[in-house]
Structure 1
Amino acid sequence: MFEENQNQTSCTNNGTVLDTDNPGHVSILACLVMLLVLTIVCNLCVIVKLYKNEYHKKTRTRFLLSSLACVDICIGIIIMPVQITILFHDAASNIGLKFCDVINNLDVTLTSMSVFHLTMLTWERRVAICNPFGYAIVCSKKRLAIVYTAGWVTVAACSFGIIMPGYQTFEAEAWKLECQVVQPKCQFIVGIYFVVGASLITIVFPIALVLYFNINVICYVKKTRANNNNLGGSCESLTKNRRIRVTVTIAVLTGAFLFCWLPFTVVNVLDTIDGRMVPTTLTIFTLWLGYANSAANPLLYLLMQCNKCIGRG
Structure 2
Amino acid sequence: MNHQVNLYSRLVCKALCCQLTLEKCFKLPLKFNRIFLYSFFTIGIVSTVVGNFLVVLSIAYFKQLQSPTNCFVMSLAVADCFVGLVVMPYSMIRTVEGCWYFGSLFCKLHSSLDVMLCTASIFHLSCIAFDRFYAVCNPLIYSLKMSQSRVALLITICWAVPMLISFGPIMLDLHIAGVDIRIPEDLCVFLVSRIYAVMASLVAFYLPMAIMLVAYWKIFKAAKRQALQISAMESQMAAGVGKDSSKKRRHRITMRRERKAAKTLGIIMGVFLIFWMPFFTLNIVDPFIGYTTEVVVWDIFLWLGYINSSLNPFLYGFFNRSFRRAFLMFIGCRVCLPGSSPGMELSQTRKEKHIIL
- The normalised TM-score by structure 1 is 0.87
Please say if 1:8 is aligned against 2:5: no
Unmatched 5+ stretches in structure 2: 19-24, 235-247, 326-345, 349-357
Taking the TM superposition and a 5 Å limit, the aligned residue runs for 1:89-238 are 89=97, 92=100, 94-172=101-179, 174=180, 177-178=181-182, 180-181=183-184, 184-227=186-229, 229-232=231-234, 234-238=249-253
Please tell me whether Structure 1 or Structure 2 has the larger radius of gyration of its CA atoms.
Answer: 2
CA contact (8 A) 1:242 1:312 kept: no
Distance between the aligned counterparts of 2:207 and 2:144, measured in 1?
25
- Deviation of 1:49 after TM superposition, in Å, equals 3.7
- Deviation of 1:277 after TM superposition, in Å, equals 3.8
Unmatched 5+ stretches in structure 1: none
Which residue of 75, 86, 90 corresponds with 1:82? 90
Q: Which residue of 2 aligns with 1:41?
A: 50
- Deviation of 1:184 after TM superposition, in Å, equals 4.5
- Deviation of 1:276 after TM superposition, in Å, equals 5.6
Distance between the aligned counterparts of 1:306 and 1:235, measured in 2?
18
- Deviation of 1:162 after TM superposition, in Å, equals 1.0
Please say if 1:247 is aligned against 2:255: no
Residue 123 to residue 296, structure 1, CA distance change in 2 (3 Å): same
- Deviation of 1:251 after TM superposition, in Å, equals 0.6
CA contact (8 A) 2:268 2:312 kept: yes
1:31 aligned partner, one-letter code: F
Q: Which residue of 2 aligns with 1:270?
A: 285
Post-superposition CA distance 1:121-170 (Å, at most 9, x none): 11111111111121111111111111221231222122112111101012
My pick for the range that moved more, 4-13 or 149-158, is: 4-13
Distance between the aligned counterparts of 1:109 and 1:6, measured in 2?
27
Distance between the aligned counterparts of 2:151 and 2:78, measured in 1?
18
Q: Which residue of 1 aligns with 2:341?
A: none
CA contact (8 A) 1:261 1:289 kept: yes
- The normalised TM-score by structure 2 is 0.77
Residue 308 to residue 39, structure 1, CA distance change in 2 (3 Å): closer
CA contact (8 A) 1:196 1:269 kept: yes
Local SS of the residue matching 2:320: helix
CA contact (8 A) 2:7 2:292 kept: no
Residue 258 to residue 80, structure 1, CA distance change in 2 (3 Å): same
- Deviation of 1:308 after TM superposition, in Å, equals 9.6
- Deviation of 1:274 after TM superposition, in Å, equals 2.7
CA contact (8 A) 1:171 1:192 kept: no
- Deviation of 1:269 after TM superposition, in Å, equals 2.6
Distance between the aligned counterparts of 1:128 and 1:256, measured in 2?
22
CA contact (8 A) 2:197 2:283 kept: yes
How many aligned positions are there?
305
My pick for the range that moved more, 184-193 or 238-247, is: 184-193
Post-superposition CA distance 1:155-192 (Å, at most 9, x none): 212211211110101243x3xx23x15x6422211111
- Deviation of 1:10 after TM superposition, in Å, equals 4.7
- Deviation of 1:238 after TM superposition, in Å, equals 0.8
Q: Which residue of 2 aligns with 1:300?
A: 315
1:271 aligned partner, one-letter code: D
CA contact (8 A) 1:109 1:155 kept: yes
- Deviation of 1:221 after TM superposition, in Å, equals 2.3
Identity of counterpart residues, as a percentage? 25
